[in-house]
Amino acid sequence: MKIKLDNYTFNPAAKTVTFTDYASLDLSDVILITNVTDGTIIFNFASPNLVGSVAANVLTLNYDTSAMSSTDKLAIYLDDSYTPSSDEALVLLRRMVKLMEPLATQDSAQRQRVTIDAGTLPVVTTVTTVTNVTGLGGVDARFHYTDQARNAYANGIRANITNS
């Protein structure tokens, strides 16, 4: 996790930065150090000319800082894998996980459970004797049956379905 470090001691004559919050530090943990007062980058892990070496918690810079002052303000960024995430990040992560949960109840096969509440279903009348279904209103008989089934579902069963 990238963090901004505020507790340090800068010695420009010796070209060192001491990290007071750490007993030891790896060079790979240091990302960037900028002298904010002068507007100069004095350490950049991606630039071969702007690196250095670490002994315990002291970083010795390759960059010549002799013209700088020990009171100059530095912006130091470290990759600190030992610092846990902030509370705000954990809250955001919990929200994201909650949003990814399914909204309906599912079984072990990830099928949605559907319950039908008992209620009043519409009266469905049946035709007992039909002799010539193909000639009914000049429309194919299959569509009559399909439409009746669709209307019975939409107006009866569907209105009583609840997701739980």
For the chain, the domains span: 2-87, 105-163
Q: How far apart are the C-alpha atoms of 118 and 114, rounded to whole Å?
A: 13
- Sheet arrangement for strand 2-5: 2-5, 74-79, 30-35, 40-44
- Stated as kind and residue range, the H or E segment containing 116 is strand 114-116
Q: What is the pLDDT of residue 58?
A: 92
88-138 pLDDT, tens per residue? Answer: 777 888 888 887 776 666 777 777 766 666 666 666 666 566 555 555 556
Decide: helix, strand or coil at residue 51: coil
Phi (first) and psi of residue 58, to 5 degrees:
-115, 125
- Letter for the amino acid at 32? L
pLDDT value of position 85: 61
pTM of the model: 0.50
Check: CB of residue 52 under 8 Å from CB of residue 7.
no
